[in-house]
Structure 1
């Protein structure tokens, strides 16, 4: 069993997975900070909606990367704001 465990450890190290996970954890607070700033603004254009959606997905990706702010699933709450913005933009362009 020790050979198997050593092989697994070597494979994980060679894959770069641990380094990537650590990098994601290091970036998560910056993404969280940016999302906090973005949440204060309501998108009014298609570009704004897309920026907001991208911020949401980045935040969710960071959360899945193992960095927890106790806000797992926050994208679901922000999804309402995104949907609201999409409806507002659609109404303005109709």
Structure 2
């Protein structure tokens, strides 16, 4: 997926809930990172970017919008994931 496609989908998906209530990340292993580590129990979704550069650009875009998260993502991250932060999630 392109940068703009992922941005548009995430912005539509969050349904006007403020950015700071979400966590954005990138990874090369979606099952391990999202479901194994963060353990979202509310809304979550993930998308495969066309390249690592696109994944990093999407992550940076949403971090600048005040989503929680950080840089990193593994060896060659192409998955972008987002979830709603709750008291049970691990940031």
Which protein, 1 or 2, shows the higher relative CO under an 8 Å CA cutoff with sep ≥ 6?
A: 2
Q: Which structure's CA Rg is the greater one?
A: 1
TM-score with structure 2 setting the length: 0.30
TM-score with structure 1 setting the length: 0.30
The answer to which structure has the higher helix fraction is: 1
